[in-house]
Amino acid sequence: KKNIYTLAIESSCDDTSAAILCNDKVLSNIVARQAIHEEYGGVVPELASRAHQQNIVPVVDVALKKANVTKNDLNCIAFTQGPGLMGSLLVGGSFAKSMSMALQIPLIAVNHMKAHILAHFIDEENFDKPTFPFLALTISGGHTQIVQVNSFFDLKIIGETTDDAVGEAFDKSAKILGLPYPGGPLIDKYAQEGNPKAFRFTKPKVDGLDFSFSGLKTQILYFIQKNQAVNPNFIEENRNDICASIQHTIINILIDKLKLAVQQTGIKQIAIGGGVSANSGIRKTLKETESKWGWKTYIPKFEYTTDNAAMIGIVGYYNYLENNFDTNDIVSKARIEF
Ligand code: KG4
Ligand code: ZN
C-alpha cells in the first residue's frame, strides 16, 4: 500500500499552522503564534489576517523541511474551511487552493471543530484511539460542544453553549483579575496552589446538554468589585483561592453535563479536545471518573489540543481514503454547519 502524504493548513484564528502527515502519522506540525494580540487583550481580526499572510509561506516551508518531504511528494492538501475569523480563514484557504492547483493534487476542506475531535486518531505512541461510538467534549476559546461521534463521518452535536465558550469564561475571569490574555493557563497555574472551595459561585441553570457561561462571568465581576471595595488588596491576597474556585465551578459545570450525556446516550467513552483541555484540573477530574464511574477517557497529546494543523491533516487523510475531495470553488465560512 502506498504512503499518503498530506499537507495541512490551519488559519482559523490567531495561529498559523502547517503540518505534514504520512498516513496517520505526523511528520511535522509547525505553529506560529501571534504575540501581537496580547497587547490588546484579545484577538484583533484585522491583525490576525495580516500576520497569517506574513507567516503562511515560511510556516509551510519549515513544515516540509522538518518532515523531509518535498512539494512533489504530496498527495493532497487539507485546509480549515471554518468556523473561524473570515479574514484568517481566507488566507489559509486561498493558499491551499493555489497549491492544489499548482501541484494538481486534491483539495480537502476540513471543519475545525470536527478536527479537534478527530485529532484523537493521530497515530502516537502511548495514546489510545477511541472506539466508536464515543462522546467528545470540545472546549476552546471559541466553542463548547458535546458531540456524539458514531464514525469519522457521522458526528452529531448533542449539546453546546448558548453564549460564551468555556475558554472565554476562563479568559474573561482572568481579565477581571487583572491577568494578561489569554488568561486560561494562568488561572490553571494559580488554581493549583489554591483552595477550590474557598469561594462559592452558583452554576447556571440550563436545560439538557446545553451550556451557558456568561452569567458566571458577571457573577465573578460583582464578587470581585464587592470585595475590592472593602479590601483593595482582595485579589492579590486571595489570587490562588479565587482561581481555584472559578476553575472548580467551571469543571463542575462541564462534568455535570457529561454525566447527563452519558446517562442519555449510554456511551461511557469520553474524548476531550480544544485548547481548554490543556487545563490540569479538567484532566485530573476526568481521569478520576474512570475509577469512580467506569468511564474511559481520552486526552490527546498536548500539542494536538490547541489549534494546530496536524488535526486538520488527520481529517484530510481519512477523507482522502474515501475520495472525498472538494473543488476549487469551495468558500471559507465563518460559521459552518456540522
Ligand atoms: O483551541 P484553542 O487554542 O483556540 C480556539 O480555537 O479557541 O483554545 C484557546 C483557549 C483560550 O481561551 C485559552 O485561555 C484556553 O484555551 N486555555 C486554557 C488552558 N490552556 C489554554 N484554559 C484553561 N486552562 C488551561 N491550562
Ligand atoms: Zn480551536
* Binding positions for substrate: 138-142, 171, 184, 188, 279
What pLDDT is stored for residue 147 in this prediction? 98
Question: Using one digit for the tens of pLDDT, what is the confidence trace for 224-239?
Answer: 999 999 999 999 999 9
Ligand 1 pocket check for 10: Cβ under 6 Å: no
Question: Using one digit for the tens of pLDDT, what is the confidence trace for 190-235?
Answer: 999 999 999 999 999 999 999 999 999 999 999 999 999 999 999 9
Average pLDDT, integer, range 295-309:
93
**CA quadruple 241, 244, 247, 251: dihedral, nearest 10:** -130
Return the DSSP state at 138. E
Ligand 1 pocket check for 14: Cβ under 6 Å: no
Confidence of residue 40 (pLDDT cuts 50, 70, 90): confident
Residues near ion ligand 2 (Cβ under 5 Å) = 140, 307
Q: What percent of the chain stands above pLDDT 70?
A: 100
* Binding positions: 112, 116, 138-142, 171, 184, 188, 279, 307
Q: What percent of the chain stands above pLDDT 90?
A: 90
Neighbour-count burial for 59-97, b at 16+ CB within 10 Å, e otherwise: bbeebbeebebeeeebbbbbbbbbbbbbbbbbbbbebbb
What pLDDT is stored for residue 34 in this prediction? 78
The C-alpha angle with vertex 78 and arms to 74 and 79, in degrees rounded to 5, equals 135
Q: How many CA atoms lie within 13 A of 157 on its CB side?
A: 14
Helix, strand or coil for residue 58? helix
Name the β-bridge partners of 91.
Answer: none
Handedness of CA 11, 16, 19, 24 (dihedral sign): negative
Q: 17 near 59, Cβ under 8 Å?
A: yes
Residue 128's φ and ψ, nearest 5 degrees, are -75, 150
Q: Biggest alpha carbon distance in the chain?
A: 71
- What is the rounded CA–CA span in Å between residue 151 and residue 168? 30
Amino acid found at 249: T
Would you state the cell numbers that stand for residue 270, as one nine-digit string?
Answer: 469520553
Confidence of residue 14 (pLDDT cuts 50, 70, 90): confident
Helices then strands, counting H and E runs in the chain, come out as 9, 10
Share the mean pLDDT of the chain.
95
| From 14, 117, 144, 170, mutation site for ligand 1 pocket: most ligand atoms within 8 A of C-beta | 170
Amino acid found at 117: I
What pLDDT is stored for residue 218 in this prediction? 95
Give the pTM.
0.92
Would you state the cell numbers that stand for residue 33, as one nine-digit string?
Answer: 503564534
Q: Which ligand is nearest to the CA of 164?
A: 1
Handedness of CA 244, 249, 254, 259 (dihedral sign): positive
Confidence of residue 7 (pLDDT cuts 50, 70, 90): very high
Amino acid found at 228: Q
In this structure, the number of other CB atoms found within 10 A of the CB of residue 130 comes to 19
Q: Which residues, in sequence order, are CB contacts of 264 under 8 Å at separation 6+? A: 158, 209
Helix, strand or coil for residue 273? strand
Question: Using one digit for the tens of pLDDT, what is the confidence trace for 149-186?
Answer: 999 999 999 999 999 999 999 999 999 999 998 899 99
What pLDDT is stored for residue 77 in this prediction? 98
Looking only at the bridges linking them, the beta strands covering 155-160 and 144-149 are: antiparallel
Full set of structural domains in the chain with CATH: 5-118+305-321 (3.30.420.40), 129-299 (3.30.420.40)
Confidence of residue 29 (pLDDT cuts 50, 70, 90): very high
Q: Which ligand is nearest to the CA of 14?
A: 1
Closest to 306 measured CA to CA, from 115, 176, 151: 115
Question: Using one digit for the tens of pLDDT, what is the confidence trace for 303-337?
Answer: 999 899 999 999 999 999 999 999 999 999 999 98
What pLDDT is stored for residue 102 in this prediction? 98
Confidence of residue 114 (pLDDT cuts 50, 70, 90): very high
Would you state the cell numbers that stand for residue 314, as one nine-digit string?
Answer: 488527520
Ligand 1 pocket check for 185: Cβ under 6 Å: yes
Confidence of residue 13 (pLDDT cuts 50, 70, 90): confident
Return the DSSP state at 211. B
What pLDDT is stored for residue 46 in this prediction? 82
Closest to 262 measured CA to CA, from 296, 291, 288: 296
Confidence of residue 47 (pLDDT cuts 50, 70, 90): confident
ipTM: 0.98
Question: Using one digit for the tens of pLDDT, what is the confidence trace for 129-153?
Answer: 999 999 999 999 888 999 999 999 9
| Alpha helices per DSSP H over the chain | 45-67, 86-103, 112-118, 166-176, 184-191, 214-230, 234-265, 280-293, 310-321
